[in-house]
Chains A and B, each alone.
Chain A
């Protein structure tokens, strides 16, 4: 799984939202993004099964899904400041542009721009292995973020 945005990779526990921080959506990691206009890329090659301005889900060939959520409570921005660069239902390679946004603008709107990247429906063993594989610290979009074996 590659980083969808550049910034600093952090543990999910640091996400300022209890449901994400407690792994209720699933295991994964989060990225505190570089503040400024940027492009969000797909973390994995697959089908863009859901595309919203503030979030998307990609399912890999084996059917496993990954959620990328751009900021916290950003559904309330109703798409303002987000530009879609891909189409729902299409195949996207890992690293392909999906959304253009500006984390600084999200922050200026009073919201956290932290981006959870979540493995959906991972079982307990996979979740534990994944947690140990997260590459914490500075990260560029397209760098390896975690391994979902």
Chain B
């Protein structure tokens, strides 16, 4: 199951917003990946991997998870990315 979401944080997924996102993904009961559109997905539980994506504010990312509850997990993580985590 995939979900595409636009990252709201003006500065993108840099240190602080990335940390908040990775913490939420790590707490999820299923592994989640995150990718820039058309690029290879990386583990959403790795702060190193997420920082490495270098996602800018306003860019789209694709979240993916498979299994029971994937829908809710992706919904929650997508909501997080559409908030301004700098706020």
- Give the B-binding residues of A (Cβ under 8 A): 17, 19-20, 24-26, 49-50, 52, 55, 57, 59, 65, 67, 69, 75-76, 118, 120-121
Indicate if the CB atoms of B51 and A75 lie closer than 8 Å. no
Given contacts A50-B54, A55-B14, contact A24 B19 (CB under 8 A): yes
- Give the A-binding residues of B (Cβ under 8 A): 11, 14-16, 18-20, 23, 46-48, 51-52, 54
Nearest chain B CB to A139 CB, angstrom units: 21
* A26 and B26 alpha carbons, distance in the complex (Å): 13
Chain A residues contacting B19 (CB-CB under 8 Å) are 19, 24-26
Chain A residues contacting B18 (CB-CB under 8 Å) are 25
Indicate if the CB atoms of A19 and B51 lie closer than 8 Å. no
Chain B residues contacting A67 (CB-CB under 8 Å) are 15, 47, 51
Given contacts A25-B16, A67-B15, contact A57 B46 (CB under 8 A): no
* A52 and B19 alpha carbons, distance in the complex (Å): 17
Nearest chain B CB to A59 CB, angstrom units: 7
Select one of A25, A52, A69 contacting B47, CB under 8 A.
Answer: A25
Indicate if the CB atoms of A120 and B51 lie closer than 8 Å. yes
* A120 and B18 alpha carbons, distance in the complex (Å): 12
Select one of B11, B16, B20, B48 contacting A121, CB under 8 A.
Answer: B48
Chain B residues contacting A55 (CB-CB under 8 Å) are 14-15
Chain A residues contacting B54 (CB-CB under 8 Å) are 50
Q: Which residue of B lies closest to A19 (CB)?
A: B16
Chain A residues contacting B48 (CB-CB under 8 Å) are 57, 59, 65, 120-121
* A23 and B28 alpha carbons, distance in the complex (Å): 19
Indicate if the CB atoms of B16 and A57 lie closer than 8 Å. no
* A52 and B52 alpha carbons, distance in the complex (Å): 12
* A55 and B47 alpha carbons, distance in the complex (Å): 14
By Cβ-Cβ distance, the 9 closest A-B pairs, closest first, are A65-B48, A120-B48, A25-B19, A24-B19, A19-B16, A75-B11, A120-B47, A121-B48, A121-B46
* A19 and B52 alpha carbons, distance in the complex (Å): 19
Given contacts A24-B20, A50-B54, contact A121 B47 (CB under 8 A): yes
